[in-house]
Amino acid sequence: MKKIKIKLNKRGKILLVVALFCLSTVITVVLIGALRSRDNDQQSVGLETDITPVPEQNNDSETEDNEPDIDITPSPEPDEPEEKFMLPKEGVRPIAVMIDNEGSKVLPQGGIGIAQVVYEMIVEYGDTRYMALFWDNLPDMIGPVRSSRHYFIDYLMEYDAIYAHIGWSDYAYRDLKRYEIDNIDGVSDASGAYWDLTRERDNYHDSYTNPERLNRYIERLEYSMETEVPFPLSYHEKDTALPGQMTAEEVFIKYHKNSTCGFYYDSDAKNYKRTRQGEYQIDRNTNEVIRAKNIIIMFVRNEPIPGDKQGRHNIYTVGSGEGFYITNGKAQEIKWSKSSRTAQTKYRDDKGNDIVLNPGQTWIQVVPLETEVKIN
């Protein structure tokens, strides 16, 4: 076989050198880009929280101009949930997670759909925030996680729950110390318990957690998962109709013009489909509408905290007041009472009997006295 020899003239040699140089430049650019991408992926949630770790300061006045990072269109008629409701277990300590409900960038929220109990309360600027409680049933993704407010702690203590949050208001920081709350805070000592869905430094609506991260910090902080505090509510063994003739097939609550919620009774499923700002509220983990079995509405006195530059509120959780208990398409008037910040709230009917819940998710809507509430 003859060997083939290629001879290049001067012009050919120049073209060959230029081609090799261009090829090496392209390879170098690709390698540098890959390394930078890997470095960016390693940013931690601790750099993107909604407040600074200094208790006197708080940057919780974010705007909601940007569009959602993840676009999931709610299904108007979602499938029936397949998972059976898990009753809270006596002796098991729950985990309470603060969940963001401000604007559109929080959507779809994750994990709310399987929480046994969810509180909704007003925060600053007319927005609301959730505190979702889980007993041995943490979902894959929970969030977006946000900062603590002091009046949520009053209800948290009723369950002896471990508190998962990222940051605090000044009053919440004080009360976390005063009441020695076991907490997993993403600012001070547990940033690794949370991660961000985006790399936007000014996005305060994208921090999530999961069972593995929470359990790792519970073990690291040596928190007990057992409690001697009894569950403050009770359940019927079987689904039970509510006495009375007050129909409650549609429930509408207007905390603020930009913060409304609703519950619409599904007579086939015997529960309520929940809405947020007029749209069905979807859980990120299941892409299904959130459904409630029990709704407790309690009217409370609230007022802005004098001199608070962030417009925060004080909610008076101690005392007594009126409200409604709603289940199975019916409602009854109730009275609530709470003797101290650490005491458990009592919910009683017009005969003085404690209300008994039906097995299923319970939403406790803590609403200011002047809130517009419609029950039809």
User: Between 281 and 310, whose confidence is greater?
Assistant: 281
284 and 369 co-located in one domain: yes
172 and 278 co-located in one domain: no
User: Between 341 and 30, whose confidence is greater?
Assistant: 341
Q: What is the structure's pLDDT at 212?
A: 98
Distance CA 60, CA 205 (A): 11
DSSP reduced 3-state for 287: coil
**272 contacts 129 by C-beta, under 8 angstroms:** no
Q: Residues 46-59: what's their mean pLDDT?
A: 34
Our measurement of the distance from residue 48's CA atom to the centroid of its chain's CA atoms, rounded to an integer in Å, reads: 17
- DSSP letters for 158-220: TTTPEEEES-B-HHHHHHHHHTT--EEETTTT-GGG-EESS--TT--S-EEB-HHHHHHHHHH
Q: Is residue 182 in some structural domain?
A: yes
Q: Is residue 282 in some structural domain?
A: yes
Q: What is the mean pLDDT of the chain?
A: 85
3-state per-residue secondary structure call for 346-375:
EEECCCCCECCECCCCEEEEEEECCCEEEE
DSSP reduced 3-state for 3: coil
Q: What is the structure's pLDDT at 189?
A: 82
Q: Is residue 43 in some structural domain?
A: no
pTM: 0.79
Q: Is residue 268 in some structural domain?
A: yes
Q: Is residue 370 in some structural domain?
A: yes
**3 contacts 11 by C-beta, under 8 angstroms:** no
pLDDT at 278 over 70: yes
324 and 255 co-located in one domain: yes
* Domain at 328, CATH number: 3.50.90.10
User: Between 229 and 204, whose confidence is greater?
Assistant: 229
Q: What is the structure's pLDDT at 70?
A: 31
369 and 290 co-located in one domain: yes
Q: What is the structure's pLDDT at 9?
A: 55
Which percentage of the chain shows pLDDT scores above 70?
78
Tell me the pLDDT tens digit for each residue of 228-268.
Answer: 999 999 999 999 999 888 999 999 999 999 899 999 999 99
Q: Residues 267-286: what's their mean pLDDT?
A: 98
261 and 356 co-located in one domain: yes
DSSP reduced 3-state for 246: coil
- What sign for the dihedral angle of Cα 100, 149, 250, 117? positive
182 and 262 co-located in one domain: no
pLDDT bin (cut points 50, 70, 90) of residue 59 is very low
Domain that holds residue 328: 250-375
Of 29-38, 159-168, 223-232, the range with the lowest mean pLDDT is 29-38
Number of domains in the chain: 2
Distance CA 280, CA 291 (A): 10
Of 74-88, 119-133, 300-314, the range with the lowest mean pLDDT is 74-88
Q: What is the structure's pLDDT at 147?
A: 97
205 and 292 co-located in one domain: no
Tell me the pLDDT tens digit for each residue of 320-333.
Answer: 999 999 999 999 99
191 and 260 co-located in one domain: no
